[in-house]
A and B are shown apart, each in its own frame.
Chain A
Amino acid sequence: MRFFDEMHVSSAQVRDHYTTYDRWLGRQPREQMRSRREEAEMIFRRVGITFAVYGDKDEDGSGTERLIPFDLIPRIIPSHEWKEMEKGLRQRVTALNRFLDDVYHGQEILKAGVIPAEPVLNNAQFRKEMMGLNVPGGIYSIISGIDIVRACNPDGSGTYYVLEDNLRVPSGVSYMLEDRKMMMRLFPDLFAEHRIAPVAHYPDLLLDTLRTMAPGGVNEPTAVVLTPGMYNSAYFEHAFLAQQMGIELVQGQDLFVKDDFVYMRTTRGPQRVDVIYRRVDDDFMDPEVFRKDSTLGVAGLLRAYRAGNVTLANAFGTGIADDKSIYPYVPKMIEFYLGEKPILQNVPTHICREPDALKYTLDNLADLVVKEVHGAGGYGMLVGPAATKAEIEDFRKVLIANPSNYIAQPTLSLSTCPTFVESGIAPRHIDLRPFVLSGKEVRTVPGGLTRVALKEGSLVVNSSQGGGTKDTWVLES
């Protein structure tokens, strides 16, 4: 299989937007790169930029904190590509929000038969509690992370595809910001030689977006970040964002609902909370409505939400729009709501609940990636080309038993980017997660988080499975 190399046209020729970097890289002694990498690791450790791996232990059995490996070689995106991608992101996220508003109100798109009603209404991610509830500005997914990969075309060119939408609690933006800070610290000269679009204002945009989404009539809204706590895998990011925005990082126990208003417990008594940027899944948010055993949320939150006294970012029930069973219909949503052609492409997807698609999938298991529609983090999937015969046959049984639980896609030849690994500089597969903020307007910061599969040949970029990150540069023209 051919891969699109982000840096090289051929082994002899470097792409235009990488020429300056390539020259610079050629001047760096290998030893120096190695010591820079050690320096980066030491700083990440000291600053505490770690994530927790569930069920994992250090050698001495104590901590579970891991560093996400950081790669020194940036992923560079030329200006014109970013401009196009950004347009596509706005369009896609706008349509997804329109879909959410529709699905929790008139359900026009289901009535029109553009999307079958069954996978929507019988979906665990569809929250009937949200029916008829009006959220500020009709914006459900205020913070969205859209995963994008670039695959190789037969003629050698590359095409960006949206691999999946993340509209619940997308994470990773802190790594985008910390990676940039680290690169500027390690290689200031590179930033003098390139015109790299800055990203450091993301927390400012986020705070502004959260504040403008406050319930009507609140002048100086109080926004907070709600975290499950310090043992959550993304705790660093929760703390980081709260700190960068200068707002409180709260846990469920810090909040309570009284007379349909949300308050936090402070040293000077209860204080009203208007906007909650929550990093807790729907299921755990309100024990009165969702999981009764949850201590991570706030009892009565849905009541306050329905009364219009608090804004949740993101809203309950956004999962219905990023569910893998709904993903194949996003291009149709764009046409339905916006009357536009999709700018960003979907990966061609076979919906196994449809008999023809199931037959095709079963016939081609060895070539396809089959995903559980509700799965996340790279679990519960079959990567055909990488699986053994026995694994494929086992998966076949699982698939036949419950076809509507799966979708299948061609194995995408994720693009590669040169990466500094033990053996030297070698190509590794990457993806991209740009972050999209929807408030009064839809905004992004240039680029996003580039994740890299550090294992040779691996296509799994998730940090829980040995993925690392790279700084992502959008070059200004």
Chain B
Amino acid sequence: MLNERIERHLPPHVIDGAAGRGRPTPHLETKPMLSRTADHLFWMARYMERAENTARLLDVNYQTSLLPQSSESAMAGWRGMLSISELSADYAKKHPEINARDVLTYMVSDASNPSSILNCLRAARENARAVRVALTTEVWETMNQTWLEFNRLVKSGALAKDPAELFEWVKFRSHLSRGVTLGTMLQDEAFYFQRIGTFLERADNTARLLDVKFHSRNTEFFGSGVGNEGKEIDFYHWSALLRSVSAFEVYRKVYRNVIRPEKVAELLILRAEMPRSLVYCMNEVENNLISVANDHSHDTLRRAGRLRADLQFARIDEILATGLHAYLTQFLDRVSDLGFGISRDFLMPA
């Protein structure tokens, strides 16, 4: 009764939920934003997302390394970590061997590693500082405080004391920055470009993660044949991968079954409800791109739409039949192309 009455008084776009989210009032003018501002916002969001994903990956490798396993397989995990980020060569220049302590330090607090969490948070904060005008006070303070506090934590030896807690902290600061953005920012172009940055980066990071985790099991993954499943070591391997994207419980909920690599791949590539899957990310990228479309962005929109549609209508067995590594490599290329297109059309127009 009460609900019925409330509903009747709500404007239609509130009732139809997500479809009306952030839709501007049609008769009121909206102001365009500076391309440079959009560029900083896009990268601010990307770097924060990258910091989070790096923390996730390190966390899961660290947890795995606590399991009884051969030192060779522990090292493989850290090696995979470095190769995801295309840092193996740079790391080798500084450290003679691969071990947990050195890799953690290198990936967390090494100021000379452009992809360390330290540098991601610095870049996120510097981008925010460059456009603090376009941010709400809360968003700016979140970015600024994260940077200041992370430095304090690193200086106080938090990484050596309890790496897991430090990673958890980074994850939550990223959650916070997204939440504060959602909760306080005007849903205008400034917001859309941040979302595009977040999800383009997440698509890239999830794809890399999948690639390296599947790669470390087989040279090329075409799906596991019957009778190839149920090994204990595999359970830990795949569950670690799921945990790194907060998907372990999600997997159980969706499949109500034992963990099988095909299903893991399906969940992280094709499940539109899974907020870190490739198709989810591409949905977000496309929707937000549509909101900022301009006179010369047709081709970029077409590419985004096609990539999203390819994912939307794909089947995991088809993907695996062509080889997962080949598929993901091609996906990463297309994401990177899309990034260039967005830059060209919106962020750095000639």
Contacts and interface: CB of A to CB of B under 8 A. Distances in A.
B138 to A, nearest CB: 11
Given A230-B130, A254-B36, A264-B34, A269 B144 contact: no
Contact of A45 (B32, B126, B148): B148
A251 B295 contact: no
A250 B130 CA distance: 10
Interface in B293-350: 294-295, 346-347, 349
26 contacts: A46-B148, A47-B141, A47-B144, A48-B129, A48-B132, A48-B140, A230-B129, A239-B132, A239-B133, A242-B133, A248-B34, A249-B131, A249-B133, A250-B36, A251-B36, A253-B36, A254-B34, A254-B35, A265-B34, A266-B32, A266-B34, A267-B32, A267-B34, A267-B35, A267-B346, A271-B32
Given A45-B148, A46-B148, A48-B144, A265 B133 contact: no
A47 B33 CA distance: 24
A239 B134 CA distance: 9
A264 B36 CA distance: 10
B292 interface: yes
User: Chain B interface: which size bin?
Assistant: 20 to 34
Contacts of A250: 34, 36
A47 B32 CA distance: 27
B145 interface: yes
B37 interface: yes
Contact of A267 (B38, B111, B129, B148): B38
A297 B132 CA distance: 21
Interface in B102-119: 111
A415 B287 CA distance: 62
Interface in A263-307: 264-269, 271
Q: Which of B129, B141, B295, B347 has the most CB of A within 10 A?
A: B129
B30 to A, nearest CB: 9
Interface of B: 32-38, 111, 126, 129-133, 137, 140-141, 144-145, 148, 189, 193, 292, 294-295, 346-347, 349
Nearest to B292: A267
A473 B151 CA distance: 38
Contacts of B130: 229-230
A20 interface: no
B140 to A, nearest CB: 7
A243 interface: yes
A243 B133 contact: yes
A266 B35 contact: yes
Nearest to B192: A267
Given A253-B36, A254-B35, A267 B189 contact: yes
A237 to B, nearest CB: 12
A267 B346 CA distance: 5
A265 B348 CA distance: 9
Contacts of B145: 46
B148 A248 contact: no
A467 to B, nearest CB: 24
Given A239-B132, A254-B34, 13 more contacts: A46-B141, A47-B141, A229-B130, A243-B132, A248-B34, A249-B133, A250-B34, A250-B36, A265-B35, A267-B189, A267-B346, A268-B32, A269-B32
B102 to A, nearest CB: 21
Nearest to B38: A267
Q: Which of B144, B193, B347 has the most CB of A within 10 A?
A: B144
A269 B34 contact: no
Q: Which 5 A-B pairs have the closest CB atoms?
A: A266-B32, A268-B32, A249-B133, A243-B133, A242-B133
Interface of A: 45-48, 62, 229-230, 239, 242-243, 248-251, 253-254, 264-269, 271
B132 A267 contact: no
A45 B292 CA distance: 34
Contacts of B129: 48, 230
Nearest to A238: B133
Nearest to A224: B34
A243 B133 CA distance: 5
A265 B36 contact: yes
B44 to A, nearest CB: 13
A239 B140 CA distance: 12
Contacts of B294: 267-269
Given A239-B132, A243-B132, A254-B35, A265 B144 contact: no
Contacts of B32: 266-269, 271
A268 B32 CA distance: 6
Contacts of A229: 130
Contacts of A242: 133
A377 B132 CA distance: 27
B143 to A, nearest CB: 9
Nearest to B347: A267
Given A251-B36, A253-B36, A269 B295 contact: yes
A358 B35 CA distance: 55
Nearest to A229: B130
Contacts of B37: 248
Contacts of B33: 248, 266-267
A264 B132 CA distance: 18
Contacts of A62: 111
Contacts of A271: 32
Contacts of B137: 47
A45 B232 CA distance: 51
A268 B291 CA distance: 12
Contacts of A254: 34-36
Contacts of A251: 36
A335 B38 CA distance: 52
A63 B107 CA distance: 21
Contacts of A269: 32, 294-295, 349
Contacts of B36: 250-251, 253-254, 265
Q: Which of B37, B131, B189, B193 has the most CB of A within 10 A?
A: B37
Contacts of A230: 126, 129-130
A318 B34 CA distance: 29
Nearest to B130: A230
Contacts of A243: 132-133
A48 B142 CA distance: 11
A229 B129 CA distance: 10
Contacts of B35: 254, 265-267
Contacts of A248: 33-34, 37, 133
A268 B292 CA distance: 8
A248 B36 CA distance: 11
A242 B140 CA distance: 15
A65 B87 CA distance: 31
Q: Which of A45, A239, A248, A267 has the most CB of B within 10 A?
A: A267
A248 B38 CA distance: 12
A229 to B, nearest CB: 8
Nearest to A245: B133
B144 A46 contact: yes
A265 B131 CA distance: 15
Contacts of B126: 230
Q: Which of B34, B126, B131, B145 has the most CB of A within 10 A?
A: B34
